[in-house]
Structure 1
Amino acid sequence: MLQRLFIWVEIPVSNMERAKTFYERIFQVEMELMPLGDSEYAFFPVQEQLNGGALVKGPQHKPSADGVTVYLDGKPDLATILSRVSEAGGQVVLEKTYAGEHAGYLGMFKDSEGNRIGLQHL
C-alpha cells in the first residue's frame, strides 16, 4: 500500500494575475509568486509543503475542463468558498452536496482559467 498517492498539484493558468486573484479571493489567502525556469508559479500557502500545490503558467501548462479533476480542501466550509466563485470570475458547477459518510461534502467549480476544480470536506 502507498503511504501517500499525491504530493503536489499544479493547476495550469493562462493569465497568472487573474488566476492568482481568483484563488486568493475564494480561499481568502495570499499566494507567493516565483519564476521557475520558463514557467511562473503562485504557491498555495499550506502547512505541509509535501501536500501542496501551485498555479503555474508556462509553455507546457494548458488550462482545461476536460482533464483530471483535482479536489482541494473545502474546510472550514466549502459552501462559503463556493459562494465567492462567481464574483471572483468563475462558475459553480456543483453546489455543496453530501456524498455519504466516506466522501463527506463535495462541490465543484470552473476557475477563471476554465479548469474544473473540486472541493471536498470530510
Structure 2
Amino acid sequence: MSGRVVHFEIPFDDGERARAFYREVFGWELQEMPEMAYTLVSTGPVGPEGSTEPGYINGGMLRRESPNEGPILVIDVDDIEAALAKVEAHGGQTLLGRQQVGDMGWSAYFKDAEGNAMGLWQSRDQSA
C-alpha cells in the first residue's frame, strides 16, 4: 500500500565505525554492497520477500552527502513523478528526482513543507 514508511537511511562519515556501532549496540545484520556504496540494514528477521514479522522496517546506511545529511524516512509511492508534483504543490521541494536503484525500483528525495529531507520509493512491480 502506498504512503507507508517502508525504509530508513542513516548517513555516516566513517562506514566501519557506523556499522560496528549499530551491529554491536542493536544487533542489526548488515550487508555491505560495495558496487552501490551502500549497506543494507536488517533490524529483524528477513526472508526472501523481506521482513518476516510485522512491526519493524529495514533500511540502509550510506556516506553522508546531500541530500542524505541526516537520517531519512523513505515512503512508498505508486508513482514518484506524481508524488513529487504533489510535494511541490503543497510547499515541498524536490532534492533529487527519480533515480533507478538496480532492478528493484526507483528512489527520489524531497524536503517537506517544514524543511525535513525525506525519501520516496517506487517498486519496479508498480510501474515500468
- TM bucket, shorter chain: 0.3 to 0.5
Larger Rg: 2
| TM-score, normalised via structure 1 length | 0.45
Indicate the structure with greater strand content.
2
